[in-house]
Chain A
Amino acid sequence: MNLKTQMLKSTIISLLAFSFIVLIVLIPRDINISLDGHKVVADPSFDMNRYLTYIGDFFRQIIEHGSLGPSRYKGQTAEAAALVAVGMSLLVIVSALLIGFVVGILKGVADYKLSKTKFNVLGHWTTWLFQSIPDFFLMLFVQWFLVKHVPAVRYFAVEGWEAFALPALLVSIYPIFFIARVTSASLLAQEGKMYILLAKAKGLSDRAVVYKHMLRNGIAAILTHLPGLLVFILSNLLVVEYYRNYPGAAWRLFQALDFNPYTGTGPEYEPGVIIGIAFFFMLLFLVVQWISHSARKYFDPR
């Protein structure tokens, strides 16, 4: 498929999927609570007319005022709230993506090389283990360790180097091992191929064979996993931001949901903020998908 058609296709599908999400977000979430004698009764039934009004209002607001609506804070629009939240997390997301990709490939190469020695346990098995530990447990453990034993690091900081370095490092743990696994699998799959044998026969060093031939050849396959990497990062971001009480994109998205155990969705439900942040996630996903497509075309034109 042509690169441009491919990009156009993924864009159209993403936009379609996004409009579906918008429709889900706009479903009315307020419930009528009334008193029947001394009994509190809730009427959660779905009201089509109200739903249509909500959708109409939302799009009217976009067209007439160019706004996603109000946020829970006075004087702040939903799109401004979404932008602020996204701004708090953007640097973390992008650096986690980079760290995950670069360190992941290095770790993958190391795993591959270690699998030839008796230290195999240190290679593939550490990768496997870290991939198996659930994120909420690992983050909990790190938090416990830092809070109890390394008080010099301000774990809950919202400014200063900790505010950026801690989440970026924590969020990139999973991507590193994910990419490492993909990399070493791609290297292992190439073993014994003719061009590898030729390169070795020419007397090239192991390093040159791995980096110049095998990695160069496998990078296209690794790049296909870049969008998946982003989803990993976003889902880890929620746990890290929630534990740290850091008002980034994932945290703000949940605040906008305003879920409480009394009435489910509370009165502060902000569809505009959710849609704004979801739109940004989609955009980021799309950009990563484009990068992955074009880089694949560049590295592997076949």
Chain B
Amino acid sequence: MKNIPLWLGGTLLAFLVFVAFVGPHLPFIDADLSKERSRWVMKNGEEKLVLPAFKPSSKNLLGTDKEGVDNLSRLVVGAKETILFVLAIAAVRYIIAIPLGIMARRKTGFCHRLITFWNQLFSYMPPVFASALLLALPFLLFAQHRLAWAILILASVEVGRVAVTVQEQAYKMSREPYMEASTALGLRTRTLTKNYYVPIMFPEMIVNFCLDMGKVLLLLGQLAIVNIFLGHEWKEVDYYTMEFVETGLNWATILARHRTDIFLGKFEYVFYPACAMMIAIVTFNLLAEGLRRRFQVRG
């Protein structure tokens, strides 16, 4: 049977990548996100001055926000950063977790205890609480490389879980007859890793990686709902009034900016970024499902 999820996921991913990298250069996208403070509109035969937010029209397909910035452009311009964030966080997570998990494959020793502890540490705390607790530490708020720290924190919050999955897999593998044979043959660790561990573990790893990208994006959305940003600067916004101003142009910041609209019963501005995030999460999950079928990994 044809692998529908893989095709769908692949197509959606191609679309996302296209939007992220080519999107800002499309003619109907305003890459500078310029603010349109007012607009003359023909109404009943006479010109009238209209103030933003403008309703969806042929000029602004999704309308504009209260400052007159085109909603669609904001989403398209934010796509690249969002996807790169997600990729970076998931990659850092796996770069830390895979070696730890493989080193702990015998289920004894320091690494085993470390990842068991790490896994338990944040297991009863949903990732969003743990990340909020850590991201709000003062020396991280003002850190010079705040973004790098934020990525590291979001990655490490779930390193334990990923490492335990890797460990479980490596443990199961190490008990297979072919692994015993290779050990008996006296293969070096490097050869073992290259010819045994990597090819056998890769399929499941890549499936889990895709699922984790979805989880990371979910976490970013949840953090945005409670108004915690990854990258920001402490700027003077008024006389002697300093404020953390988000520097990034990603979907999470759009969500954060409009989150109070929820209480006012105004949903449109929150819906757009939430929708974009949902499409991305569904893409990653479809890809995972498709790859799982492709590699015949049992879910």
Contacts and interface: CB of A to CB of B under 8 A. Distances in A.
Are A and B a genuine interacting pair, yes or no? yes
Interface of A: 10, 13-14, 16-17, 20-21, 24-25, 27-31, 33, 35, 38, 40, 42, 44-46, 128-129, 131-137, 140, 143-144, 147-148, 181, 185, 189, 227, 230-231, 234-235, 238-239, 242-243, 245, 250, 253-254, 257, 259, 261-265, 274, 278, 281-282, 284-286
Contacts of A181: 299
B251 to A, nearest CB: 11
Contact of A14 (B124, B136, B277, B285): B124
Contact of A262 (B129, B133, B221, B242): B242
B136 A143 contact: no
Contacts of B289: 128
Given A134-B274, A262-B241, A264-B138, 17 more contacts: A14-B120, A17-B121, A17-B124, A25-B133, A42-B234, A132-B214, A132-B282, A134-B218, A134-B278, A134-B281, A135-B218, A136-B222, A140-B267, A238-B128, A242-B225, A257-B132, A274-B133
B123 A285 contact: yes
Contacts of A185: 298-299
Nearest to A231: B126
Contacts of B120: 10, 13-14, 16-17
B170 to A, nearest CB: 19
B236 interface: yes
A259 B226 CA distance: 9
Contacts of B221: 134, 136-137
Interface string B79-122: 00000000000000000000000000000000000001100111
Contacts of A35: 240
B132 A264 contact: no
Chain B interface, DSSP helix/strand/loop, else mixed: helix
Interface of B: 116-117, 120-129, 132-134, 136-139, 141-142, 214, 217-218, 221-222, 225-228, 234, 236, 240-245, 255, 262-263, 265, 267, 270-271, 274-275, 277-278, 281-282, 285-286, 289, 298-299
Contact of B222 (A30, A128, A238): A238
B213 to A, nearest CB: 12
B296 to A, nearest CB: 14
Nearest to A182: B299
Contacts of A230: 124
Given A44-B138, A136-B274, A128 B226 contact: no
Among the interface residues B132, B226, B263, B281, which one has the most CB atoms of the partner chain A within 10 A? B226
A74 to B, nearest CB: 25
B212 to A, nearest CB: 14
Pick from B134, B225, B243 the residue with the most CB of A within 10 Å.
B225
A31 B116 contact: no
Given A128-B289, A135-B218, A27 B137 contact: yes
Contact of A235 (B126, B142, B242, B281): B126
B224 to A, nearest CB: 8
A231 B209 CA distance: 20
A137 B217 CA distance: 12
B265 A148 contact: yes
Nearest to B266: A144
Nearest to A261: B244
A154 B130 CA distance: 32
A264 B21 CA distance: 33
A87 B270 CA distance: 31
A140 B271 contact: yes
B241 to A, nearest CB: 7
A30 B139 CA distance: 10
29 contacts: A16-B117, A17-B117, A21-B121, A24-B134, A40-B240, A44-B139, A128-B289, A132-B214, A132-B285, A134-B221, A134-B274, A135-B218, A136-B218, A136-B222, A136-B225, A137-B221, A137-B275, A144-B271, A147-B265, A148-B265, A185-B298, A231-B123, A235-B127, A238-B128, A242-B226, A253-B129, A265-B136, A278-B129, A282-B124
